[in-house]
Homo-oligomer: A and B are copies of this chain.
Amino acid sequence: MVSTASPALDTLAARAASLDAADPLAAVRERFLLPEGVVYLDGNSLGALPAAVPPAMADAVHRQWGTDLIRSWNDNSWWDAPLRVGDAVGRLIGAAPGQTLAGDSTSVQLFNALSAAVRLRPGRPLLLTDPGHFPTDQYIADSVARLFGLEVRRMPPAGLPRFLAEEGERVAVAGYSPVDYRTGELHDMAATTRAVQRAGGLMLWDLCHAAGALPVGLDELGVDLAVGCGYKFLSGGPGAPAFLYVAERHQAAFDQPLTGWNGHVEPFGLSGDYAPAEGVGRGRIGTPPILSMLALEAALTAFDGVAMEQVRAKSLSLTGFFLDCADTLLDGLGFTAVTPRAPERRGSQVTLRHPDAYALVRALAARGVIGDMRAPDMLRFGVNALYITHRDVLSAIRQLAEVVMSAEHRDERFRHRTTVT
């Protein structure tokens, strides 16, 4: 640990200034309305407000709903929004148009996608998932397995190759995340996709922690199915609609349980028998929450002219700089970095372990540095390369060091656990 007023700090500050000055995405920060005095390192949980959203919402409410009323389904293209917004997400995840759909929550999309996968691979009794996967992915896999009389096997990514070699032909679908939501570890999407498909199973990626953060190249990798949320790195707003990707080759046989009328081939024919629409539009369910949908659509314009490779390069620069700052400023203060040091194994967040994680995250928040935590001892700091600077990162770590050194987090008001952090 060094004093927070030291030559080492000066060196880091100079490096941050230099990296920020050379940042090709520096101007993109102006596309977000960030509150004064806040360092927001929780874009992996709820992305900041894009400047394009407030006028879009005002227009959606006043003109489209208030004035045009029901006519907006046609005149303001509400009906097409799930496919239009889906394609806008598709551009960020390497999906050619017509394969991505926006709507519902990740949990609902997972349910449809896993069920459809099981129907695409009849006779295969296993669903594979990661025991470290975000809980909803595990719960939904269990529920789908129960409905179809199948079995869920929880296999960490490291154990996949061996498992697939031994029991791969029994696997209907494998559902994994490229990025571990706790540690920020990035797994090898290409190798996993290949291994699952070589065994004859379908590969489903949950992109919640990847979409908008790094290139995932779904078409290029030949991924079968994917889902993800709209409110993390896509900055679509709280509970923004999720998305579903169905590779074109699977669409004609994609057979989902949530057969809502929006997915019907002729939704206004009002037939009592379900017949699915052509293409990924068959994944539609009920009437989508248009206000939240249009907020997501406006938010995605923050990516206009930005290549995911640029986002990735800056994200790695930020997380690498984060780890360097932590090495220098947090040394001896009880922290352990659990995010891998190798850039190719890092998502867009850095996770530190510390026994006082709860209190530290709360004390930092009181200073305007917003991260979050995951039980029992992980401090998570997500960097959204569209609006975070190296200076932000240094400020966060410097203040974290100050909090620990001054024992600020031991104050009574930071001891209570909150339901959501």
Interface residues of A (CB under 8 A from B): 33, 35, 38, 40, 42, 45-46, 48-49, 53-54, 57-58, 61-62, 64-67, 69-74, 78-79, 104-108, 111, 131, 133-136, 138-140, 142-144, 146-148, 154, 229, 231, 237-242, 257-262, 264, 267-274, 285-293, 295, 365, 370, 372, 374-375, 418-421
Please indicate the chain B residues that have their CB under 8 angstroms from the CB of A418 in the complex: 74
* Residue in B33, B48, B269, B420 whose beta carbon sits within 8 Å of that of A375 in the complex: B269
Please give, as numbers and ranges, the residues of chain B lying within 8 Å of A64 by CB-CB distance. Answer: 238
Q: Which interface residue of A135, A138, A147 has the most chain B CB atoms within 10 A? A: A135
Residues of B within 8 A of A372 (CB): 70
Nearest CB of B to A154, in Å: 7
CB distance from A193 to the nearest CB of B (A): 23
Least CB distance from A351 to B in Å reads 14
Q: Report A260 CB to chain B, min CB distance, Å.
A: 3
Query: Across the interface, do A107 and B260 meet the contact criterion of CB distance under 8 Å?
Result: yes
Give chain B nearest CB distance to A384 CB in angstroms: 12
The number of times this chain is found in the oligomer is 2
Bound together, the chains give a CA A365 to CA B66 distance in angstroms of: 16
Chain B residues within 8 Å of A40, by CB:
69
Would A107 and B49 be within 8 Å (CB), given that A136-B261, A139-B260, A139-B261 are in contact?
no
The residue that A272 contacts in the complex, of B45, B57, B138, B272, with Cβ under 8 A, is B138
A137 to B146, CA, bound (A): 24
Alpha-carbon separation in the docked complex, A65 to B235 (Å): 10
Nearest 8 pairs of A and B residues by beta carbon: A105-B286, A107-B260, A107-B286, A289-B292, A238-B290, A73-B420, A49-B66, A136-B261
The answer to whether A140 touches B260, judged by C-beta atoms less than 8 angstroms apart, is yes
- Contact (Cβ within 8 A) A419 B74: yes
Complex CA gap A353/B185 in Å reads 63
**Distance in Å from the Cβ of A363 to the closest Cβ of chain B?**
14
Would you give 17 A-B contacts (Cβ < 8 Å), ordered by A? A49-B66, A57-B57, A57-B58, A57-B291, A70-B372, A73-B420, A74-B418, A74-B419, A104-B286, A108-B286, A131-B272, A134-B270, A136-B261, A138-B273, A139-B259, A229-B287, A238-B290
Judge whether B287 and A66 touch: CB under 8 Å: no
Contact across chains for B241 and A289 when beta carbons are under 8 A apart: yes
Closest Cβ of chain B to A213, distance in Å, is 17
Q: Are B365 and A71 in contact, CB atoms less than 8 angstroms apart?
A: yes
Q: Smallest CB-CB separation from A270: which chain B residue?
A: B135
Are A239 and B290 within 8 A (Cβ)? yes
**A152 CB, min distance to chain B CBs, angstroms:** 10
